[in-house]
Amino acid sequence: MMTFLEKALGFDSKSMKLRTEIIAGATTFLTMSYILAVNPSILASTGMDKGALFTGTALASAIATLLLAFMAKLPFAQAPSMGLNAFFAYTLCVSLGFTWQQSLAIMLIEGVLFIAITFFNVREMILNAIPTNLRYAISAGIGMFIAFIGLKNANIIVNNDATLVGLGAFTPTCILGIIAILLSGALMARNVKGSLFWGIIITTIIGIPMGVTVFPNGWLPVSAPQDITPIFCKFDFSGLLNLKTVLVIFSLLLINIFDTIGTLMGLADKTGIVEPNGNIPHVKEAMMSDAIGTTCGAMLGSSTLTTYVESASGIAEGGRSGVTAFTVGIFFIVSLFLSPIFLLIPSAATSGALVMVGVLMIDSVKKINLQDITESFPAFITMITMVLCYSIADGICLGIIAYVFMKTFTRQWKDLNCTLLCVYLYNLHLCIVSVLIIHVFVSIYILLCINAILIRYYYLHVSKTLFTCK
């Protein structure tokens, strides 16, 4: 048994405990199980069958996570991306006028392209090009982002028209969230095994008399899986051969690339698997499982899949191998039959785990070279914009722009590399396009001019020290 776990899932019986890995997997699942309720709710606004969407979400998440467990042997989990599911429903279907069948076809094309660029190491090249201090900033920024999500889910932090955000009212949900945070912190301080897991379970029980944990009428713990036929492989490729579709697919690709890369870097740092040269073992396999998962997800009627930052909760519980991911995948399969139980957990109950994960991940800040302003400024931009923009991808993009600008302005050419410059140019173009409210061809012309000027500048001033690309 142990031999199988070691070969198939990277489990090391000398340094790892099977019980710890299973608890870590359960914790990760509980902190991300909200996707089983949220994803069907968002995508159902397009006219898709909600019951079928629940089945599709669970199956797609299980397939992608199990692929990651066996291919990459890492303690991470994958599921439909929050943000990209909203992009699917409200941008593709509502704003751009695609049908949900056409949107699924776009997701399928994106998945196939993901597989191609992963196979040719494009995503790995981008990851390896990101400077060390930015990697630490990404890890810390993700921690702050996760904590913010936890506070938001518990209504501790709410929208405020005067100050953008503010403290919420002391509603039962808010109070339960505070209890969850304090309880999780206390359990961790006492070194209780599975503290985040038990924090979620205990808080869910406490929420029953408070009216936050609600049992629906006719509630039963077990139910049969919903029929997936209404959305399975319902692709419509008609009307997709146009520039609009190309731009949409390209945008989806880049958003998902940076989102996944940032998450993988942050989680790998907390797992302690990052090699001295900065490389992450099995990162290509992890990205390939993400790409295959996205393709399978499109076939199952789901939006783009990505690696979840909530995986950090399982890592905090001691998850270090593919056994953790395998456990999460099994839980997703079980959820097909026990969905009433998993959907019973209120989002406020998971806030404690998310906030404590943020506390653990913020320690990456101490590794950043704060004495060098060309390093600390981009790191700060990366961290703060992840939270304020509510996006890992936006944080990375703006951090890279700030980094290249600072290094270029101070003539520190040796800290730059070709791949990083390419990423920088793309991000700069993206920012300019988002601001220019003019005809697309004029925008393209301006971007080409800017690109030519930048390339010329780097050729004249950087080529002597930069042509040996990292």
- Give the Å distances, CA to CA, from 321 to 8, 188, 282, 450: 10, 21, 12, 46
Which residues, in sequence order, are bridge partners of residue 159?
165
Q: Rounded mean pLDDT of 153-165?
A: 91
41-50, 71-80, 452-461: the lowest-pLDDT one: 452-461
**How many Å separate Cα 321 from the centre of its chain?**
19
| pLDDT above 60 for 32 | yes
Local structure of 412: helix, strand or coil: coil
Q: d(Cα 25, Cα 93) in Å, to the nearest integer?
A: 35
> Quick one: pLDDT at residue 4?
78
Q: Rounded mean pLDDT of 339-353?
A: 83
What is the share, in percent, of the chain residues with pLDDT greater than 70? Answer: 90
> Quick one: pLDDT at residue 207?
95
Q: Are 151 and 157 in contact (CB under 8 A)?
A: yes
**103-136 residue pLDDT tens:** 999 999 989 998 998 888 887 787 778 888 888 8
- Give the Å distances, CA to CA, from 333 to 29, 70, 158, 250: 11, 16, 34, 32
> Quick one: pLDDT at residue 340?
80
The whole-chain average pLDDT of the chain stands at: 84
pLDDT confidence band for 75 (50 / 70 / 90): very high
63-67, 381-385, 422-426: the lowest-pLDDT one: 422-426
| pLDDT above 60 for 465 | no
Query: What's the token pair of residue 29?
Result: 């699942």
Q: Are 336 and 37 in contact (CB under 8 A)?
A: no
Q: Are 255 and 84 in contact (CB under 8 A)?
A: yes
> Quick one: pLDDT at residue 127?
75
More confident residue, 189 or 450: 189
Phi, psi of 230 (to 5 degrees): -60, -20
More confident residue, 423 or 60: 60
Q: Are 19 and 202 in contact (CB under 8 A)?
A: no
Local structure of 68: helix, strand or coil: helix
Q: Are 142 and 312 in contact (CB under 8 A)?
A: yes
Could you tell me which of 366, 367, 139 has the C-alpha nearest to residue 264? Answer: 139
Q: Taking the C-alpha atoms of 59, 60, 64 and 65 in order, what is their torsion angle to the nearest 10 degrees?
A: -50
Could you tell me which of 208, 142, 146, 152 has the C-alpha nearest to residue 177? Answer: 152
Q: How far apart are the first and last CA of the chain?
A: 42
Query: What's the token pair of residue 315?
Result: 């890592």
Model confidence, pTM:
0.77
